[in-house]
Structure 1
């Protein structure tokens, strides 16, 4: 392929993503959906249906696949970073119960439904197997594939809408557990079904990527201790992740599992993990955008016509399994009502991991793999298009998305307004006077950017449990509610530190004993200008509670100083 064709394809991918993302914002859809649809329209699948030459040809997609592989590896490293031991200790056994309930019910529903469909209606038989054996293989393999969740789409929606809170943290942890279980169990099931049994090859395929990623993660942690500048962290992470992917391909082990393990070890062994991650976030977005456009271009619309009854049942059973399984797992695990209701929707997206498993099956068991790959590719078209919408729904309704993140996406700047802004800036650069005056960001209201899903303490929470919660929180204080969920005040870590040196006294203390009355609370209708003045007066306060002005004991959310400053900065830049 000539270089000018490669650069033309790259230009089409990036510029097409801008158009797709803007149109999605105009329609109040996640930008991820716009990127996927842009790729779908630019790719060979849509062009074939319309009888037109594709803007992104098959050879171009193959050449640019390296960008997609690197982006997906970066995303898996991010997901692996959720497996910090201090983070998991906060969940204790509850996250395992949640994951087992969600993955278990999804597997059972998909496996049973696919078995019955083939056994009673389709009568498909694979060479060397009976009808019942074929049906069992269909159910087992599709059930394990159904467990997998697309990390890329979910992470991008979380990032786009600036979601943060218990639901978001739980979702990211579950994605890692889902994909780990799906890949490991699928490898085991495939080996048993093909008659290979337990062997060194099986152990290598299952644990090889974990060892490879873990070793590279540890080496990168040691190397990272010798670095200081953010640019060096970027180079180390990109180079290490590229090396992990290259070695995985050379050793023929799963590169996604290796990247997940790299992130897990790096997050737990490197004191500078957060600095590394923050440095990477400054440059990774174009890679993610290219990944989704390429993913859309690689979607095969033709497979929808061949998905058949088995594929339809797979999509329905997986959707029901994720929604109901997440509800059951969260309920049994003692998670909050919001997590019971909304986590399931955020786990519906499916793409790269599922496609990779199906492709491996085609190599190892061609006849069975060809049948299941058609089902998986058709289902991926559905889940990739509607999955990000489901993720957005779950995050927004859980109360972890600031309203301002939604309001900014109502309409892009028109072409005329854009021209006016460019002329204004150019005139200012030349030193010419201009009477234009931007609107004041301070007119935005508290309700537009407050976070509604608040971590609260009950007044009977023990002191040691209180310390454990504060140690794992981004804030240094917590709102406290009584048994009827009425807001009664705040517990501030800086005011209770002295009790750390009185263990006998601490064992008798509960959160209600440490509550201090709230000196300053804000209301939803207050302007950011007023709140910023409060933050300047209370310099040691990281956030204010937001309460109902007519019912001060009703806690509506919190407003952090970072969110206020971020809103001022973004709106000023936009103006």
Structure 2
């Protein structure tokens, strides 16, 4: 018995990195089952609970164990990218021609209003509070991005719990949900454009290579569109050739991996690539629902890793220096989203009178795209980098915890008072 215990102890000391990674992945998926059970019995969204799991991971790792290794080692970035690609692909599939004809102008007008509201409010507020131009402009540009994964998951949860009756109120809920998903589907495209232009502006002001920054922005967007078309059209043709089942699932997963891999290799926006591909497939293929259904079936485990890793990104060492800026950014971004949505709905009141002016509160969640922008800003302006990254990561956790609750509330109560 003693020999067996000694052997087990020796083996535990030599556990490989791959074995530890597999164990962590298994534990996270097991916890997601517990989270789902708690969510069904309470009013708390699964997203918020998963982010809290990630925060707990960060507290144990950095606070108790005293080290700050990257969660899941080298798997963190691929898992996040793949989850975001899946979400963006499904959101692109929401943009059918018929839907664009009926709600397209409305979605574009509201998205522009929310973008301008966020950008102006965050920049003006931080500038008046005395923060540097780099911090104010960078965070204003980052504030434009929305987390498509959190919003779409909150909408899905709201649909699951909504009544199946086809009355006026349910139609109103459906309209609000469609408009929010439509805005999110193009919101990150606006975010990438705004962020690239803001970085170019800061580079010109700082007498660095503004031209190179502008070229990079054009390539990131234009290259993403070209890549989405290049992958979307063959995938649309292939979708009609395969029968439902395992081959279709393999085809759908292969497309997700190709989009994530090629966009990373070519340094273009993976989100925009996936949205363009989804848009092409849904409008070209006669069997488009097969690929989207398969992605919906396998999407959840990747979203589990995404949300947990978002919470695990919290850096306790930089938290104290950024608390004031975090508070200001959260308040200003919330005001900007609300004001943008309020003014946008008022401007489009004649076209769609059923929308309420609180719709901007359904666009508060923020995660992977914002974190990526923060890292890019930190690389370009290293003297302000830690402050920007700490602010975005910490505020992201807050937005991921409370944002989905507001998304569900906006959708569930479209006909109630706008006051919140």
TM-score higher than 0.5 here?
yes
Provide closer, same or farther for how the CA distance between residues 64 and 355 of structure 1 changes in structure 2, counting only shifts above 3 A. closer
Match for residue 142 of structure 2 among 142, 145, 170: 145
Aligned twin of 2:325: 310
Match for residue 58 of structure 2 among 17, 33, 44: 44
Aligned twin of 1:15: 30
TM-score by length of 2: 0.84
Aligned residues: 382
Structure 1 residue 216 displacement after superposition? 0.9
Q: Distance in 2 between matches of 1:361 and 1:237?
A: 33
Provide closer, same or farther for how the CA distance between residues 322 and 372 of structure 1 changes in structure 2, counting only shifts above 3 A. same
- 3-state SS in 2 of match to 1:165: helix
Structure 1 residue 242 displacement after superposition? 0.6
Aligned twin of 2:189: 180
Structure 1 residue 295 displacement after superposition? 2.2
Question: 1:271-350, aligned counterparts within 5 Å?
Answer: 271-334=286-349, 336=352, 339-350=355-366
> Which of 175-184 and 365-374 deviates more?
365-374
Structure 1 residue 65 displacement after superposition? 4.0
Structure 1 residue 298 displacement after superposition? 2.5
Aligned twin of 1:393: 409
Structure 1 residue 167 displacement after superposition? 0.4
Q: Distance in 2 between matches of 1:62 and 1:398?
A: 43
Matched, 1:193 2:202: yes
Aligned twin of 2:275: 260
Kindly indicate which of the two structures has a greater share of residues assigned to helix: 2
Provide closer, same or farther for how the CA distance between residues 278 and 202 of structure 1 changes in structure 2, counting only shifts above 3 A. closer
Match for residue 241 of structure 2 among 226, 232, 245: 226
Q: Is the 8 A contact 1:20 1:31 kept in 2?
A: yes
Structure 1 residue 349 displacement after superposition? 0.6
Provide closer, same or farther for how the CA distance between residues 22 and 189 of structure 1 changes in structure 2, counting only shifts above 3 A. same
Provide closer, same or farther for how the CA distance between residues 374 and 167 of structure 1 changes in structure 2, counting only shifts above 3 A. same
Provide closer, same or farther for how the CA distance between residues 229 and 23 of structure 1 changes in structure 2, counting only shifts above 3 A. closer
Q: Distance in 2 between matches of 1:217 and 1:341?
A: 36
Question: 1:74-473, aligned counterparts within 5 Å?
Answer: 74-118=86-130, 122=131, 134-135=132-133, 137-162=134-159, 165-195=174-204, 196-198=209-211, 200-334=215-349, 336=352, 339-398=355-414
Structure 1 residue 53 displacement after superposition? 7.3
- 3-state SS in 2 of match to 1:161: helix
Q: Distance in 1 between matches of 2:223 and 2:152?
A: 26
Structure 1 residue 345 displacement after superposition? 1.9
Structure 1 residue 186 displacement after superposition? 0.8
> Which of 61-70 and 177-186 deviates more?
61-70
TM-score by length of 1: 0.62
Kindly indicate which of the two structures has a greater share of residues assigned to strand: 1
Match for residue 28 of structure 1 among 20, 34, 43: 43
Provide closer, same or farther for how the CA distance between residues 310 and 247 of structure 1 changes in structure 2, counting only shifts above 3 A. same
Structure 1 residue 267 displacement after superposition? 2.1
Moved runs in structure 1, 4+ residues, more than 3 A? Answer: 24-27, 197-202, 299-304, 335-338, 368-371
Task: Let me know the Cα RMSD of the aligned residues.
Answer: 2.4
Q: Is the 8 A contact 2:249 2:291 kept in 1?
A: yes
Q: Is the 8 A contact 1:237 1:276 kept in 2?
A: yes
Q: Is the 8 A contact 2:310 2:397 kept in 1?
A: no
Q: Distance in 2 between matches of 1:206 and 1:234?
A: 28
Provide closer, same or farther for how the CA distance between residues 346 and 229 of structure 1 changes in structure 2, counting only shifts above 3 A. same
Q: Is the 8 A contact 1:21 1:35 kept in 2?
A: no
Aligned twin of 2:13: none
- 3-state SS in 2 of match to 1:262: helix
Q: Distance in 2 between matches of 1:248 and 1:324?
A: 34
Structure 1 residue 156 displacement after superposition? 0.9
**CA offsets per residue over residues 115-160 of structure 1, 9 Å max, x none?**
1112xxx5xxxxxxxxxxx42x333322221111111111111112
Matched, 1:3 2:18: yes
Q: Which runs of 5+ in 2 are unaligned?
A: 1-15, 163-172
Q: Which runs of 5+ in 1 are unaligned?
A: 123-133, 401-575
Structure 1 residue 92 displacement after superposition? 4.5
Q: Distance in 2 between matches of 1:332 and 1:180?
A: 22
Structure 1 residue 61 displacement after superposition? 4.8
